[in-house]
Each structure stands twice: as structure tokens, then as C-alpha cells.
Structure 1
Amino acid sequence: MKRGRLPLTALRSFEAAGRLGSFTEAAAELFVSQAAISRQIRDLEALIGKPLFERHHRSVSLTADGETLLTVLTHSFDRIGDSLDALSGARRAGTLKVSAEPSFAGCWLVPHLAQFQAENLEVDLVIDADPRLVEFRGNEAEVAIRHSTRFTSWPRVEARHLADVEMIAVMAPSLAPRVLREPLDLLRYGLLHEDTRGLWEQWFAAAGAGEVRVERGAIFADGALVLQAALRGHGVALMDRDHVRDDLDAGRLVQAFDVSIPYGAFWLVARRFDALSEPARRFVAWIERCYPRQKGA
């Protein structure tokens, strides 16, 4: 198709809808109505003579042709956006925005940032503690740290394994009795939970306590809040071993029983690692060097 006939508006609408998996979210991103998105995509499908989406009752999914077109468009629009940002200076030199899981940000990243800043005085960091996936567009983060119990890759981005997560039971020394005879003794001290109580049930099973129904205990939105509660003696917490290593070494927390359970992994994510800015490259190199598992801890 000749360049002069390219339906750019329709292509932009399709790219947003395909990338987000939703006509509604595409409409919000592009500041138009959902009806406008639907019309543009119908016109595009009529032009090429093939369906790009499968319409379901309350959702849409890309066809194979839609997937092919989306890959080309997303890559092309990203390159155009990067070029415009470079020409306009939209990303200020020396500034790096990092998106991180709240638990990772609060438990490990923020406590260790002074080391990165001491080695990179000219880099100004912006830490966005948000569990949502970023698209790495516009003013969004350039690097993200994500946790997943299932996924090892995500569409249209590159991911590097940072560390596996190993959960252990910890408590403040003031709360810990001299002798814990069996795992079920922990129920007397109150259990702290991140998001759900189900993880403790897995820990008790791994500890040989059988099927334990955990129905009580405070639930917190992220691990950093759980850690603060544990440090203050509010209960027993399941925490990533790497995130409480300093507290264990300093005696602020003690581990209850030599039991751990796997809980997914942390991943470094970027649109393209070979195209990162100099501050982002330095950050990635630093965290791969300093995060505990990377040192074989």
C-alpha cells in the first residue's frame, strides 16, 4: 500500500487496542470514545479484507493476522516515539525512572539505593512503586522490576531473571519464645499476610504440619508493610529471604524453623536492554551485581 494511503488513525487505534487487549482501554489512552475505536478497527478490517480481532461477549482477542500486524506496528510506533523524544529532549539526561514492585521497592531497593547513588552521583532516580505493568512509553519508566509466580516473559518487552524468591517465616526477637516445638506453635503469635492467607497454608504443608486452614491474621497490601509489622512484633511474617537478610544478620528478626517455600521470581524488564540510556545501563549493572542472589548468597 502506498504511504499516502496508509490509514494512520485506524492503525493507531488498532495498535492501542491490540496492545492493551481492550477497546475501552484503547479509547482511554487515545482520549476518544470506544465507538470511535470500534469504527476505526472495522474500517481497517474492511480495507485489508481480514478480521484482526475475535469478538467475544465481553472481551476481544487478536487473530493470527492481528498478532502479526500488532508486532510490526508496536515496534514502529515505539521507534518513532523514541526518535521524537530524543529530538525534543523529553527524557532529561541523567534522570532515570524505575518501576518496581512495592514489596521489592520497600524491602530491598530503597534501603540499598544509597550505594547506587554514591557510585552514580550524576543520576537522579525516580522510583515508581507500582505493581502494574508499564508500557515503557512517554514518561513511563525505562526499567522495571517485576515479580511473577508463573510468567518468565511478557509481550513486546525483554526480561532478565534477577532472582528466585524463597519465603521464610520470621518474627521479632521480642516475640519469639525460647523454644518453638513445632510449626503449629506459630499460630499462637498471630500470622501476618501479604494479599492472601493462602501462602501460609503452603508453608505449613512444607513444614510437615499437614493441611492447616489459616483463616485469621492481618492482611497487608505489600510485603514492605508486612515487614514493618513483623519488626514491631505484631506477628509472624512470611518474607523473601533476600529481603530480610540484613534484618536477620542484625538480629532485628529471627527465622522460625528451617523451612522455606518457593514463590516465583523477580525479573528485570525493559523494552530493549541494548537500547537503554546510560543511567539505565548503570542501574541494571548495579542491581545485577548487588542483589543477593546474584552474589550466590
Structure 2
Amino acid sequence: MGAVLPLLALRAFVETGRHGSLKAAAAVMGVTPGAISQQLKLLQARTGVVLFTRTPHGVALTPAGAQVHPALLRAFDQIQDSMATLEAIHARQTLTLSTVPSFAASWLVPRLGRFTERHPAIEVRVEASSALADLRRDRIDIAIRHGLGDYPGLVSRPLAAPVLLPVACPALLAEGPPIHSAVDCLQYPLLQDSDRSDWSLWFRALGLPPDPRVERGPAFDDDVLLIRAAEAGQGIALVRDLYVEAEVASGRLAVVLDHPWPTRFAYYAVTLPGAEENPAIAAFLRWLQEEVEAPTSAL
């Protein structure tokens, strides 16, 4: 027997034996009964074995045919199951997101269930990192970052501008020089986020020139640690207004400068050019904007 298996003829044999009818087998395979008959003749000629006998109601397996039919039936059923699995994998899309840990934990992850309910065929994978990933190299579909929206070679869509407040221990402010404008904050130690970006972005958004003092000071991976360091009088922290409501209300922290928030300093959804041609990416971006614009959604 040659190396090439007569798969079409074997399938004709399996379906004919399953249904006991050439016509029914032809309907399953989408061909004519004559084509089924031809394939069975080719298979019988190749094996030298008679596989069917005619009956008043159709055809029946011969003893030789009945001996091999169950194994071939299982084999083709397994092939069909494997094809269904492949089709399901193709239909199910994986969307990879990259965002900062604080945004993922406090805002994105609690809402992802609503996206999954609406788009069950799209699987979302979240990578939490403070650094802006290389979208092409790291195969990131959407990155959500806060900044000024300047991402060369990428498309950035503004989502919302959360308010970050410069706060410090009242005792530290009472003992130090007065603060009348943003540049006066540089007279104090600046408590930094993990990638030392928030202060520099804040000063840039306010139109201030670069200053090496902006990136100096201890850095903290977590906003809670940043707030505790400010309470201990270690310097000025730039943190979300929602995170320090209790501390400011109790007097443990004071707002250093009541300055209008620069709206350029916002959260952005960042993608490669043309990414919205992917239906999964387009669907997630639409959902993301809807969630941001919801009345009860505070970034």
C-alpha cells in the first residue's frame, strides 16, 4: 500500500457505514451519490476487500467492513473534533494590554468582567508594568499610560485626566520656604513614583523648563508608600487626589499648591498605527471609552 492515504474514499466508507445509505453519506459530504459510489469502488479496488452489500433499504457492511469501520469512525470523529478546536481557537482572540499596576488594580481589572460579558470570544491578558512596553516587540495590542500623549510612532487616544495633587506634611511646609508656584516645589525633596516620571511630566505639562532636581528624591513602587513617606515629612508627593482625601481632611497632609490641573497630563490608550483595523482592538477601545465616560467612573 502506498504512503498516501485515500482519505476521501475512507471518509466515504465511514459515512456510508454510519448511515447505511449512499445518498445520506453524499448529503453529509456535500457530494453526489455517484461520487460516493466511485470512491467506494476505488477503495475496494485498492484493498481488494468487499466492504458493503446491498439491502432492500440501502447498504450494509460486510464482515470485513464491519471489522474496520469502528476504528475509522473514531478516527474521523477525532479529526472533526480537532477541526472544531482549531476553529474555536481562531474564533477566540487574545488581546494583550499593558498598563501601570495602580491603574490595573484600582480601575481596569474590576471592570473587565463587563467587557468579557459583551465580547466572550475575546480573551484579555493584562500585563502590569510601570515602563511603556515596546508594542511591536512585546506584542502588546493596547498600552494604557498616563503622560502627555507624546509617543512617537504610535497612536495615542486621550481617556481622562485624573487629578494628581502635590501634598506634604504640614510641619515640613511650616519649617521650609514658602511655595507660591510650581517651581517652588523644587526647594523641597520630591518623592518619586517608581519610574520617576510623574514629577517631570507634571512640570512639562505646566510649561516649565527641564531641571535636574525634578528627578531627584527617593522612589516608591506603591502609592501607599509614597503617601506614608509624605506623612513622615520626607518630602512632597504627587499623588492621586482620591488616594489622599482622608489624609488631607484629617490634616495629616496638606495640599502644597492649589494649581489648575494640566489636562494634557492624562491617561492615554496607545496602539500601533492601524491597530483599530483589528476588530478586537477596536471593540476594546470603544468599551474603554464608554467606561471612562460613565457617570460613576473616576480614573
Q: Which has the larger radius of gyration?
A: 2
Normalised TM-score (structure 1)? 0.45
